[in-house]
A and B are shown apart, each in its own frame.
Chain A
Amino acid sequence: MKRHEEWVTAIALGVAILASFGFMFSYVVHASTQIEGMALAIAIFGFVIAALGWSSWMIKRDQVVDRIDEYPSDETDRRLACSELQQTQVDVSRSGVLTKLLSVALGAFGLAALFPFRSWGPAPGKTLFSTKWKTGTRLVRSNGNLVTKDELNVDSAVTVFPEGAIGDAASQTVLIRLPDGLGATVHGYVAYSKVCTHAGCPVALYRAAAHQLLCPCHQSIFDVVDAGKVLSGPADHALPQLPLEIDSHGFLCAVGDYPVPIGPGFWERG
Chain B
Amino acid sequence: MTRHLVEWLDDRLGSARFMKHALRKAFPDHWSFMLGEINLYCFIVLLLTGTFLAFNFDPALNTVVYHGPYRLLNGVAMSAAYASALRLSFAVNAGLLIRQIHHWAALLFVAGITIHMARVFFTGAFRNPRELNWMVGIILFLAVLGEGFTGYSLPDDLLSGIGLRIADSVLLSVPVVGTWASFLLLGGAFPYSDQVGLRLFSAHVFALPAAIATLIAIHLAILWRQKHTQFPGPRRTEDNVVGSPLFPNYAVKSLALGCATTAVLVALGAFVQINPIWLFGPYNSYQAASPAQPDWYIGWLDGALRISFPWALHFFGHMIPSPFFPGVLLPFVLFGALFLWPFIEQAITGDRRPHQLLDRPRDAPWRTAVGVAIFMLALDLTLAGSGDVQARYLHVPVNVINLSYRAGFIGAPILGFIVAYIVANELRKTNGLQKSKRVRLRRNKRGGFDEETIP
Contact = CB atoms under 8 A, between A and B. Distances in A.
B242 A71 contact: no
A84 interface: no
Contacts of A127: 183, 188-189
A41 B263 contact: yes
B321 A266 contact: yes
A169 B253 CA distance: 54
Given A69-B239, A234-B309, A264-B321, A172 B285 contact: yes
Contacts of A47: 255-256, 259, 263
26 contacts: A33-B100, A37-B266, A41-B264, A47-B255, A51-B255, A55-B249, A59-B248, A62-B244, A62-B249, A63-B242, A69-B239, A122-B188, A123-B180, A167-B284, A169-B191, A204-B286, A234-B310, A236-B312, A237-B312, A263-B190, A264-B169, A264-B172, A266-B173, A267-B177, A269-B321, A270-B318
B408 interface: no
A94 interface: no
Contact of B286 (A169, A221, A266): A169
Contacts of A217: 162, 166, 288, 292, 302, 305
Report the contact-size class of chain A (Cβ under 8 Å from the partner). Answer: 35 or more
Given A219-B399, A233-B399, A233-B402, A67 B252 contact: no
Interface string A101-122: 0000000000000000110111
A66 B25 contact: yes
A194 interface: yes
A68 B241 contact: yes
Contacts of B177: 267
Contacts of B242: 63-65
List the 10 shortest-distance A-B pairs measured between CB atoms, nearest first: A37-B270, A265-B321, A169-B285, A216-B290, A51-B256, A236-B312, A204-B288, A169-B191, A199-B169, A44-B263
A157 to B, nearest CB: 12
Interface of A: 27, 30, 33-34, 36-38, 40-41, 44-45, 47-48, 51-52, 54-55, 59, 61-71, 117-118, 120-124, 127-128, 142, 159, 167, 169-170, 172, 194, 198-202, 204-205, 216-221, 230, 232-237, 263-270
Interface residues of B, number: 97
Given A61-B249, A124-B179, A264-B173, A194 B286 contact: yes
